[in-house]
Amino acid sequence: MGIFSFGRKDPKDTPANEAPLSAVPAAVEAQEKPRGLLDRLKAGLAKTAQVLRTDVRDLFKREGRLVDEDFLEELRGVLVRTDMGPAAAEAIVVDVRERLRARVVDPDVVLDSIRTQLLGRLRNTEAGLGTAASGPTVILVTGVNGSGKTTSIAKLARMFTRDGKRVVLGAGDTFRAAAVEQLSMWADRLGAEIVRGPQGSDPASVAHKAVARAVEVGADVCIVDTAGRLQTQSNLMQELSKIRRVVAKLVPEAPHEVLLVIDATAGQNALSQAKGFKEAAGCTGIVLAKLDGSARGGVIVPVTEQFGLPVKFVGLGEGADDLEPFAPERFVAALLEGAFAPEG
C-alpha cells in the first residue's frame, strides 16, 4: 500500500495522549428512540430559547407598559444576546416600533415580528446537498480546530451509510494525529473505509488518494477532512486551494460541496471563521455544530446574510444521528415555541 493505508487502524495502537475509543460516542451502537425533527430542534435550541423566554418575559412583567424607546432598547439587547446580529435585531425593533406606536406592549405582536423577520432572512438560504452526475460525490469539510469538524464528518458519513450508500473517508487533517485517530475510530464504527497518510504528510495527497480509492471501489460518497488551522495562516489557504485542484482532476466538477463547520458556541467569532474559509476554500454551505450546547443559535442569521452561504445541516447533540438538514420554518418554529411556551 505504500505510505498510504486503506481501512482501519487497530484502536490498541492509539497513543496514550490521544483520544481513546471510549471518547467516541457509542450512539451508533445504541441509539435512543428517534424523536421528531421539531422535538430535536427544540431540544437543541433550548438554551437560545431560554435567553428569549427569561429576558423577553421580563419586558412584559410591568402591566400596561408602553412601547417606548426604553422598551425597544431592552428588546434589542435581548435579541443581540442570541447572536442573531445587530441587523436582524434592529429590523425587529423597527417593526415593533411601527406596529405598536406608543401602545401597550403586546407579546403576540413582538413574537410575530421576531418570527417574520427571522423567516424573511432565512428562507432564501434553504438548499439541498450537491451530488455528482456520475461517480462519487466528493465533499470537502473545513473549519477551525475545535469547531466540531471531525464529529460532523462522522455524522455525515452516518447519514449516508444509513441510506445504504458506500462511503470513503479521507483523513486529510494530517497535522493533528488526534483528528486522524478519531476519524479512524468513527470509520470503524460506521463501517466506512478510510484513507490515511503519515502524520504531517501532504493533505492534498491524502485527498487525491481518498478520491481515487472512492472511484476504484465504486463508492457513492467521498468525504475529505481538511486541516483546521486558523484562517489567518496563508499556507492553510493555499493548501485548501490545492486540495480543490487535485480532486477535480479525478472526478468532474469535484468537489461537489465544500462544507464549513462552525461552532455555534463561538457566536460572532464564527463570522471571521466563515469569511476566511469561504475565500480560500470556495465554501458552498455551512454545518452549524454544537447547537445543543449554545445560547447563541441566532448566529445562523448574520452568517447567512453576510456571506451568502446556506446552512445545510445543524448538529443537535453528541450522537451519530444528531445531524439534521436545516429547514428555516422548523428552526424558527422550534426556537419560538420553546421561547414562548408556558412556564411550569
Q: Are 311 and 285 in contact (CB under 8 A)?
A: yes
Q: Taking the domains of the chain in order of start, what are their residue ranges?
A: 1-21+37-344
Residue 139's pLDDT band, with cuts at 50, 70 and 90, is very high
Rounded to two decimals, what is the model's pTM? 0.79
The lowest-confidence range among 120-124, 177-181, 284-288 is 120-124
For residue 326, what are the contacts with CB-CB under 8 A and spacing of at least 6? 125, 126, 288, 300, 310, 311, 312, 313, 314
Q: Are 68 and 96 in contact (CB under 8 A)?
A: no
Residues 8-54: tens digit of each pLDDT:
434 334 333 333 333 444 443 334 434 566 677 777 777 777 777 77
Q: What is the DSSP string of 179-231?
A: HHHHHHHHHHHHT-EEEE--TT--HHHHHHHHHHHHHHHT-SEEEEE-----T
| Interatomic CA distance for residues 140 and 50, integer angstroms | 35
Give the orientation angle of helix 86-99 with respect to helix 300-307, to 10 degrees: 110
Q: Which CATH superfamily is 1-21+37-344 part of?
A: P-loop containing nucleotide triphosphate hydrolases (3.40.50.300)
Residues 227-241: tens digit of each pLDDT:
766 545 677 778 888
